[in-house]
Amino acid sequence: MAYDTIVLITGAKTGIGKAIRDGPDSSPAKSLTSLPTGDGSKVIVVKYDASSSTAAIELEKDLRDNTEITHLDIVIANAGILKAFGPAKDVKFEELQEHLLVNTIAPILLYQRTAPLLEQSKQEPRFFIISSTLGSNTLMDDYPLSLIAYGMSKAAVNFAAGRIHREEERIAVIPVQPGWVQTAMGEKAAVFAGMEPKDVPVTLEDSVSGLLSVFDSATKKLHSGRFWDQAGKEVPW
């Protein structure tokens, strides 16, 4: 990425959920602002709650009113949840609703409010959505986990990415699978699958390294409207 690249990331850190709810003065948010940065770089923390229908509007207003940011080069819609475990016959209305709100609707609303800022980019603007192969119909038999709320929400956001790509002439819109990662979310899924948490296959370091490579190299022509994993391989829908 160029040194003057401005990147917006939601769900940016373990424990960020509390910072999202409590705002930039919370302890988790302050831990973000204290992260080491390269020369000429800085971290700006703004409030964003993906479960709120007004979060993207408030985020855009905060950026315009309280920062010097006049454009964005990359947006990474990373905030997401995995809370419901079990088959379709047992899933609750509230679980379906919450997963679709956070994992599907929130990225669409985020796109709506950040697209004007991305349009001001002097680079090729890119909007990434952190998705999952659990939302792939083609790969459903490879991942026999009964996570219908989560899988539905990721399949739906993949469709949204493909649709937005076709509507956008300039902005690259790309869903990305980070791998089954050794995070709290990934370890919960492992326990549900009868595995040990330590057996989750992708380290956080490898996932991030791969994702950064995808973020750096992705283009509208070659990558937008298609589904990719952290190794730079295309994933079937």
Write out the two tokens for 82. 């995995």
The pLDDT, as a whole number, for residue 51 is 93
Residue 3 clears pLDDT 60, i.e. is over it? no
Percent of the chain scoring above 90 in pLDDT: 60
The pLDDT, as a whole number, for residue 196 is 76
| Residue 104 belongs to domain spanning | 7-231
Whole-model pTM: value is 0.86
- 96 in a structural domain: yes
Number of domains into which the chain is organized? 1
CATH number of the domain encompassing residue 62: 3.40.50.720
- Where are the extended beta strands (E) located within the chain? 7-9, 74-77, 126-130, 172-177, 227-229, 234-235
Show which residues are catalytic.
150, 154
Average pLDDT over residues 4-20: 65
Residue 18 clears pLDDT 90, i.e. is over it? no
- 2 in a structural domain: no
d(CA 205, CA 209): 6
Contacts of 64 (CB under 8 A, 6+ apart): none
pLDDT digits (tens, 9 = 90+) for 75-126: 999 999 999 988 899 999 999 999 999 999 999 999 999 999 999 999 999 9
Amino acid at 27: S
φ/ψ of residue 77, rounded to 5: -80, 90
Mean pLDDT of the chain: 86
- Coil, strand or helix at 86: strand
- 116 in a structural domain: yes
Average pLDDT over residues 211-229: 95
Residue 22 clears pLDDT 80, i.e. is over it? no
- 92 in a structural domain: yes
- 236 in a structural domain: no
pLDDT digits (tens, 9 = 90+) for 138-160: 999 987 778 999 999 999 999 99
